[in-house]
């Protein structure tokens, strides 16, 4: 909505600049000459009306040239002043000359009103109509109009009003077009953003996968080239690690109610397939864990399980303060995972057993 309002604002601002120029040019081009040369009943009144109208235009310039909408108070005061000046100018002319050349105000004030009330179309039409009716009423009440003069006045009034209404219509049309253009541009921007986001996501996925595959690719290459012997304990352990890592990674993007336990279960499955007897227990209700923290929490599980020889105990404990994932496995102490920023990893060797624990303090809810 605000974009539409901005678009309207641009149309109005531009139209107002055109109107300020037109109003100034019309007033001085068509009004100044009769004011100075013709006869008036009250010249001072005609001059005052002329000056008042010029002032209205000048004051409007203050906002119009900065492309700002006119404040309501300025528009209202200006409208009252313009109408007063119009009737002043009409009163200044002799009754017989009303709506003739010395009465330069009749066609002109419509432009002032248009300038003041361009963005308030209903008020504008009402004021224009009121002005027209009042002027014609005054003309008829003076009672001296002959048919020809009346016809000429009517034609002049019709001409002026229709040009002014045309300006209103043009403004509306421009407004609508600029709104449509804004909507189209916005939609295009939205699409572009979405495409950009999708690309970034895809790139992120690719680099994450490449990062995770980091240890797998050289391993596969080594096996394929015959550099690594599948019978060796070390090769087997590296394979176990790669398999568990991959299995955990596949589980990472699954839509499940408890992603952390889902990922740990994937690690446990992978280890069980490799012949490790795993006892797995979970305690406490699920709490939301950011994906990065999940990765850091499950990394020690992957390491310890891939190092396990035959038995392992995996446990997930969730208290009101923290999450603790521990693995106790019959393995050497070489499976070491370093602590990361958010997750504290503790490891130790106890006789034949390796114990790894990852702890994450849950944010207070």
Partner 1 sequence: MAHPAELSAVIVDDHPAVRAGVAQWLSTGSPPITVAASGEDVRVAWTGEGATADVVILDLHLGGPAPALSELRRLAEAGRRVVVYSMRADDEIALQCLELGALSYLTKAEGAEHLLEAAAAAASGRAYTPPSLAGALAGDRSTDRPVLSARETEVLIEWFQSESKDFVSRRLGISPSTVNTHLEHIRIKYAMSGREAPTKAALLARAIQDGLIGVDDL
- Footprint on this chain of partner 1 (rule: CB under 8 A): 279, 281-285, 313, 315, 317-320, 324, 326, 328, 350-351, 353, 355, 357
Instruction: For residue 277, give the H/E element and its range.
Output: strand 277-283
**Exposed e or buried b per residue across 92-123, where buried means at least 16 C-beta atoms within 10 angstroms of its C-beta:** bbbeebbbbebbbbbbbbbbbbbbbbbbbeee
CB of 310 to partner 1, least distance (A): 15
Closer residue to partner 1, CB minimum distance, 177 or 279: 279
Structure tokens at 293: 């923290």
Min separation Cβ 284 and partner 1, Å: 3
Q: Residue 60's closest CA among 77, 83, 35?
A: 77
What span, in angstroms and rounded, lies between the C-alpha atoms of 210 and 216?
10
Minimum CB separation of residue 354 from partner 1 in Å reads 12
Residue closer to partner 1, measured from CB, 91 or 317? 317
CB of 262 to partner 1, least distance (A): 16
Rg, C-alpha atoms of the chain: 42
Which of these, 144, 51, 116, lies nearest to 89 by C-alpha position? 51
**Residue 223 Cβ vs partner 1, minimum distance, rounded to whole Å:** 35
Looking at the Cβ atoms of 33 and 283, the one nearer to partner 1 is 283
Q: Tell which residue, 328, 336, 325, has the closest CA to residue 354.
A: 328
The nearer residue to partner 1, 161 or 286, going by C-beta atoms, is: 286
Q: From residue 196, give the alpha-carbon distance in Å to each of 185, 189, 193.
A: 16, 10, 5
* Percent helix, percent strand, percent coil in the chain, to nearest 5: 65, 10, 20
Q: How far is the CB of 287 from partner 1 (least distance, A)?
A: 10
CB of 258 to partner 1, least distance (A): 13
Q: Which is nearer to partner 1, 249 or 337 (CB)?
A: 337
44 sits in the region (left: phi over 0; alpha: psi -120 to 50; else beta) called: alpha
**Dist. CA 107–CA 145, nearest whole Å:** 18
Instruction: Give the nearer residue to partner 1 in terms of CB position, either 131 or 355.
Output: 355
By the 8 A CB rule, do 40 and 49 touch? no
Report the nearest approach of partner 1 to the CB of residue 322 (Å).
10
Query: If residue 330 lies in a helix (H) or strand (E), which one and from where to where?
Result: strand 322-330
163 vs 282, which CB is nearer to partner 1? 282
Q: Which contacts qualify for 83-86: CB closer than 8 Å, 24 or more apart?
A: 83/109, 83/127, 83/131, 84/52, 85/48, 85/49, 85/50, 85/52, 85/53, 85/56, 85/109, 86/49, 86/131, 86/135
Considering the complex, what minimum distance in angstroms separates the CB of residue 303 from partner 1? 16
Closer to partner 1 by Cβ: residue 16 or 355: 355
CA distance 59 to 229: 91
Terminal C-alpha separation, the chain: 36
Nearer to partner 1, 37 or 350 (CB): 350
| Structure-token pair, residue 274 | 């490799």
């Amino acid at each position: 909505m605000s974009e539409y309002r901005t678009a309207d604002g641009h149309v109005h601002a531009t139209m107002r600049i055109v109107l300020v120029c037109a109003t100034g040019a019309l007033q001085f081009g068509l009004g100044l000459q009769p004011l100075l040369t013709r006869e008036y009943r009250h010249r001072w009144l005609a001059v005052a009306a002329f000056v008042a109208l010029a002032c209205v235009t000048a004051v409007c310039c203050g906002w119009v040239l900065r492309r700002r909408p006119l404040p309501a108070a300025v528009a209202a005061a200006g409208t009252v002043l313009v109408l007063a000046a119009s009737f002043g100018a009409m009163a200044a002319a002799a009754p017989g000359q009303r709506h003739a050349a010395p009465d330069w105000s009749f066609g002109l004030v419509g432009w002032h009103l248009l300038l003041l009330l361009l963005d308030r179309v209903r008020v504008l039409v009402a004021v224009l109509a009121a002005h027209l009716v009042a002027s014609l009423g005054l003309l008829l009440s003076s009672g001296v109009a002959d048919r020809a003069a009346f016809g000429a006045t009517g034609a002049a009034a019709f001409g002026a009003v229709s040009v002014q209404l045309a300006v209103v219509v043009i403004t509306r049309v421009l407004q609508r077009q600029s709104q449509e253009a804004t909507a189209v541009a916005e939609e295009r921007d939205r699409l572009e953003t979405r495409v950009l986001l999708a690309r970034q996501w895809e790139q992120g996925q690719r680099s994450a996968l490449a990062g995770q595959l980091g240890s797998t690719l050289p391993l596969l290459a080594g096996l394929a080239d015959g550099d690594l012997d599948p019978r060796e304990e070390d090769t087997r352990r590296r394979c176990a690690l790669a398999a568990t890592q991959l299995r955990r990674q596949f589980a990472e993007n699954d839509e499940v109610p408890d992603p952390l336990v889902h990922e740990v279960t994937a690690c446990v499955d992978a280890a069980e397939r490799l012949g490790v007897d795993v006892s797995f227990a979970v305690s406490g209700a699920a709490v939301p864990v950011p994906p990065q923290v999940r990765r850091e929490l499950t990394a020690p599980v992957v390491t310890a399980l891939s190092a396990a020889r035959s038995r392992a105990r995996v446990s997930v404990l969730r208290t009101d303060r923290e999450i603790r994932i521990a693995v106790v496995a019959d393995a050497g102490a070489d499976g070491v995972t370093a602590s990361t920023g958010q997750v504290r990893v503790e490891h130790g060797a106890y006789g034949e057993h390796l114990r790894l624990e990852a702890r994450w303090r849950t944010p207070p809810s």
